[in-house]
A and B are shown apart, each in its own frame.
Chain A
Amino acid sequence: DSGVTQTPKHLITATGQRVTLRCSPRSGDLSVYWYQQSLDQGLQFLIQYYNGEERAKGNILERFSAQQFPDLHSELNLSSLELGDSALYFCASSVRGHRETDSGNTIYFGEGSWLTVV
């Protein structure tokens, strides 16, 4: 158990709908990352937050948005869903969002949220 909690574990929804995925990072971790894993696209970095602020943005679609709340949990909102959005969405967390430390920045992954769009 990595300490990163994601809900829901499985979700089936129809095209055009909107869903919210939730993530609680490990205790003490300030950074939260979202990744999308699909068979044809591999593990795609979507977005990173550090202590409530957006730190880095990857291949996140405009239909998707995320935020990190004061209690450090994060939500990924997916709207106007398409069949191609079906994937496993991972949240990960780490202690920091900077590179100042010498101990590395291992990120710890949650179990993922399986999204199926039908």
Chain B
Amino acid sequence: ELKVEQNPLFLSMQEGKNYTIYCNYSTTSDRLYWYRQDPGKSLESLFVLLSNGAVKQEGRLMASLDTKARLSTLHITAAVHDLSATYFCAVDTGDMRFGAGTRLTVKP
């Protein structure tokens, strides 16, 4: 069965710092998605990564995909409070399976 593992599950950061969230998955796939969820809210699509080596950037967030290593990363640069949320990766193998999520808290 497909496993999608994220780490860390909880991340507390100071504003202005950098950090990386990791997403490992257990089956062959070249389609990886990142979503953001604010507390009590729906999930919002952030990035779509469709090939090995794909890199996408939006503001302070950058996502990359290494299909050989079955690894995607979400890098946060100079974190700000507004980035506090839960971040999910999802792998497309015909249906969409999500990781457990990384709850990010950015403190002033």
Tell me the A residues contacting B by CB distance below 8 Å: 2, 33, 35, 42-43, 45, 48, 55-56, 58, 90, 92, 97-99, 102-112
- Verify if B43 is at the interface (C-beta below 8 Å from A): yes
Give B37-77 interface residues, CB cut-off 8 Å to A: 41-45, 48, 50
A104 touches B48 (CB 8 A): yes
Top 4 nearest A-B pairs (CB, nearest first) are A56-B95, A104-B48, A109-B43, A43-B98
B48 touches A107 (CB 8 A): no
Instruction: Give, as a whole number of angstroms, the nearest-CB distance from B96 to chain A.
Output: 6
Q: List residues of chain A with CB within 8 A of the CB of B88.
A: 43
Chain B interface helix/strand/loop/mixed = strand
Q: List residues of chain A with CB within 8 A of the CB of B35.
A: 109
A45 touches B97 (CB 8 A): yes
Q: Report the nearest B residue to A57, measured CB to CB.
A: B95
Extra contacts, 19 of them, besides A42-B98, A109-B44 (Cβ < 8 A), are: A33-B96, A42-B100, A43-B88, A43-B100, A43-B101, A45-B96, A55-B94, A58-B95, A90-B43, A92-B43, A92-B96, A98-B94, A99-B92, A104-B50, A105-B31, A105-B96, A107-B45, A109-B43, A110-B42
